[in-house]
Amino acid sequence: MKIEEYLRSRAAEVDAALVELIGEYRPKVEPKLLEAMEYSLVSPGKRIRPILVLAAAEAVGAEARPLLPFACAAEMVHAYSLVHDDLPAMDDDDLRRGRPTNHKVFGEGIAILAGDGLLTEAFAVMSRDRAAPPVERRLAAIRELAAAAGAEGMVGGQTADVLAEGRAADLPEVESIHRRKTGALLRACVRIGALLGGADAASLERLSRYGETIGLAFQVADDLLDEIGDTRATGKQAQRDRARGKATVPALLGVERARGLLRELRARSLADLDGFGPNADPLRGIARTVVDRAL
Amino acid sequence: MKIEEYLRSRAAEVDAALVELIGEYRPKVEPKLLEAMEYSLVSPGKRIRPILVLAAAEAVGAEARPLLPFACAAEMVHAYSLVHDDLPAMDDDDLRRGRPTNHKVFGEGIAILAGDGLLTEAFAVMSRDRAAPPVERRLAAIRELAAAAGAEGMVGGQTADVLAEGRAADLPEVESIHRRKTGALLRACVRIGALLGGADAASLERLSRYGETIGLAFQVADDLLDEIGDTRATGKQAQRDRARGKATVPALLGVERARGLLRELRARSLADLDGFGPNADPLRGIARTVVDRAL
């Protein structure tokens, strides 16, 4: 299967699972809250994080479909982080994935609550009775997601980002922000898929490295698309980061050296998958796709 | 042991555990973020939620101390909810437990992130490798906390509260808001302690009822103290709810009938504990203490 086809079919599976999940809440949750949660969760998106969960499980020989709830949980954490990051007190963005941001539609209070709800329900979904994998693995997956999303991960990265705004951050600082703000969750998605799929220690180690590499590549590619001003590809206002004086890797390295770094990251992430057979082809395809869209 | 003594010594244990927990994050977390998390977590408070976790475990004959991390997690979720509820986009409070609210000290952006961090780390703490109870029970405890904190619980209750502001809510609506906003977490704390302590189905059922009763009593008592204007006892600005036209049970029933309801709730919660021996004395003492402070 070609990677484009794989990504499309997996994204459709994830989308269907997300719609079903929201539907289950419908009778029990404050309608306005659920509407706001749904608005940001079931919005246009590539679903790269949930797909990484599924593809990593496949890479270690496990069946992907039973892990859909965990894939959804990863997307819920991602969606929550976007809703909160966009708030006026944070990045103050009006546009996200080509649509008005959550607080523009629902107001700040409901947007904060929708984010809180998405974050909390991610853990609810992962700890549900009927989720399939053995309890030890599920607990490990929860541990991964909490660590990636928490104070040492996404929340810490966003804090550093907020605090760095308006002053000149250098490359190590920018990379440290990226590693926590974006990289940690992408890496966690790969690890969650691997852990739930029953990876042995050596495979988990290699896949973690792959996840880390892909995490950095993803952010550099995103910033590069922003830098060269492709609003259509990113769904955000172009050069928004630059306009507010936010340091990015391409802004610090220049476009050409950033492209060089991306090629290197692509090679490294493929090398991390060397010991794996054709089961890891989706992960290989993802590495190529993430990088190539910005070259 | 007298209940005042019990509450004091348990609160001291919880406080020590919270301080230790924050200390473990210190080298790894953005200092400003940790400072904001610590400000609202290790602030003066009765620690009623973590104490309920410990006391419920005791009631079913389990040892309380190994459950301290779970008790801390409950307090983290409580602290997060206060930080977010106080935000300008929500209740817009300047004072909490007698001190400036988190966003007044750290700014809105950091306050939102501190809340996000506390919420997420609660799940990290509960899923840690070294936590003691068997994995099945820990997963059940995570499920309880997520359900109580999530869209059907606290987040839903706060949404309903925000949406109800400024218009006249009736008694069933006010009770429904309370049940989700405050009651769900208090009930979950009792259930978490019982589940981790290995309660059988019948004990869990009775303790759940106790938790529900105590949850409602707690909110009515709090609102009553607000209504009669005792800033010292609540740590909040007195009659704040009334000033902003927020409906409360005492405002709807009148002070005397609200006191009658409290007495009834005290009796009911004690009856819920009928089948339990002296191990449940702390839970009995908590029921009396919660109610009696407002009579």
Q: What distance in Å separates the CA atoms of residue A217 and residue A292, rounded to the nearest whole number?
A: 10
Q: What distance in Å separates the CA atoms of residue B220 and residue B258, rounded to the nearest whole number?
A: 7
Are residues B92 and B103 in contact, defined by beta-carbon separation less than 8 angstroms?
no
Count of beta carbons in the 10 Å neighbourhood of residue B157: 24
Query: Are B30 and A156 inside 8 Å of each other by CB?
Result: yes
Percent over 70 (pLDDT), chain A: 94
Candidates B29, B151, B163; nearest CB to A152: B29
Query: Are B162 and A109 inside 8 Å of each other by CB?
Result: yes
Q: If residue A271 lies in a helix (H) or strand (E), which one and from where to where?
A: helix A255-272
Interface of B with A in 72-91 (CB under 8 A): 84, 87, 89-90
Q: How far separated are the first and last CA of chain B, in Å rounded?
A: 23
Closest C-alpha among A80, A83, A112, A116 to residue A100 = A83
Mean pLDDT along residues A139-153: 98
Flag whether pLDDT at B239 surpasses 60: no
Mean pLDDT along residues A82-96: 95
pLDDT of residue A169: 85
Mean pLDDT along residues A14-30: 96
Show contacts of A256-260: CB within 8 Å, 24+ apart.
A258/A220, A258/A223, A258/A224, A258/A227, A259/A224, A259/A294, A259/A295
> B51 is written with which tokens?
């104490």
Query: Are B159 and A30 inside 8 Å of each other by CB?
Result: yes
Give the list of residues 6+ apart from residue A271 with CB closer than 8 angstroms, or none. Answer: none
Any idea where the domains of chain A sit in the sequence?
3-292
Give the list of residues 6+ apart from residue A254 with CB closer than 8 angstroms, or none. Answer: none
Q: What is the pLDDT of residues A228-287, one digit of tens each?
A: 875 555 555 555 666 666 778 888 899 999 999 999 999 999 999 999 999 999 999 999
Grade residue A166 by pLDDT with cuts at 50, 70 and 90. Answer: confident
CA distances from A243 to A25, A294, B171 (A): 40, 20, 51
Q: Residue A57 corresponds to which amino acid?
A: A
Interface of A with B in 121-160 (CB under 8 A): 121, 123-124, 127-129, 135-136, 138-140, 142-143, 145-147, 149-152, 155-156, 158-160
* CA A41 from centre of chain: 12
Mean pLDDT along residues A56-69: 97
Give the list of residues 6+ apart from residue B192 with CB closer than 8 angstroms, or none. Answer: B53, B56, B70, B74, B141, B144, B145
**What residues in B contact A84, CB-CB < 8 Å?**
112-113, 116
Q: Which CATH number fits domain A3-292: 1.10.238.10, 1.10.150.650, 1.10.600.10, 2.60.120.260?
A: 1.10.600.10
pLDDT of residue A167: 80
Mean pLDDT along residues A53-62: 98
pLDDT of residue A241: 62
Grade residue B165 by pLDDT with cuts at 50, 70 and 90. Answer: confident
Closest C-alpha among A155, A162, A159, A131 to residue A246 = A162
Say which residue, B83 or B247, is predicted with more confidence: B83
Mean pLDDT along residues B61-73: 96
φ, ψ for residue A223, nearest 5 deg:
-65, -35
Flag whether pLDDT at A15 surpasses 60: yes
- C-alpha distance from A143 to closest chain B C-alpha (Å): 5
Q: If residue B100 lies in a helix (H) or strand (E), which one and from where to where?
A: strand B99-100
Show contacts of A255-262: CB within 8 Å, 24+ apart.
A255/A224, A255/A227, A255/A228, A258/A220, A258/A223, A258/A224, A258/A227, A259/A224, A259/A294, A259/A295, A261/A220, A262/A217, A262/A220, A262/A221, A262/A224, A262/A291, A262/A294, A262/A295
Count of beta carbons in the 10 Å neighbourhood of residue B214: 27
Looking only at Cα atoms, what is the longest distance across chain B? 52
CA distances from A59 to A211, A275, A287, B9 (A): 13, 11, 14, 52
Candidate from A212-221, A229-238, B220-229 with smallest mean pLDDT: A229-238
Q: What distance in Å separates the CA atoms of residue A226 and residue A219, rounded to the nearest whole number?
A: 10
Percent over 90 (pLDDT), chain A: 83
Mean pLDDT along residues B269-290: 97
Q: What is the pLDDT of residues B96-147, one digit of tens each?
A: 878 999 999 999 999 999 999 999 999 999 999 776 799 999 999 999 999 9
Percent over 70 (pLDDT), chain B: 94
Select from A34, A78, A87, A112 the residue whose CB has the most chain B CBs within 10 Å, as the one to mutate to test that interface.
Answer: A112
Q: How far separated are the first and last CA of chain A, in Å rounded?
A: 23
- C-alpha distance from B13 to closest chain A C-alpha (Å): 24
**What residues in B contact A113, CB-CB < 8 Å?**
84, 90, 155, 158-159, 162
**What residues in A contact B32, CB-CB < 8 Å?**
159, 163
Mean pLDDT along residues A32-46: 96
Percent over 90 (pLDDT), chain B: 83
Search chain B and give the residue with CA nearest A91. Answer: B109
Count of beta carbons in the 10 Å neighbourhood of residue A228: 14
Its pTM stands at 0.95
Q: What distance in Å separates the CA atoms of residue B68 and residue B15, rounded to the nearest whole number?
A: 10
Grade residue B261 by pLDDT with cuts at 50, 70 and 90. Answer: very high
**What residues in B contact A150, CB-CB < 8 Å?**
117, 120-121, 124
Flag whether pLDDT at B69 surpasses 70: yes
Flag whether pLDDT at B157 surpasses 60: yes
Flag whether pLDDT at B234 surpasses 70: no
Search chain A and give the residue with CA nearest B108. Answer: A89
Interface of B with A in 182-211 (CB under 8 A): none
Q: What distance in Å separates the CA atoms of residue B64 and residue B62, rounded to the nearest whole number?
A: 6
Candidates B33, B112, B163; nearest CB to A32: B163
Q: What is the pLDDT of residues B167-201, one digit of tens each?
A: 878 999 999 999 999 999 999 999 999 999 999 99
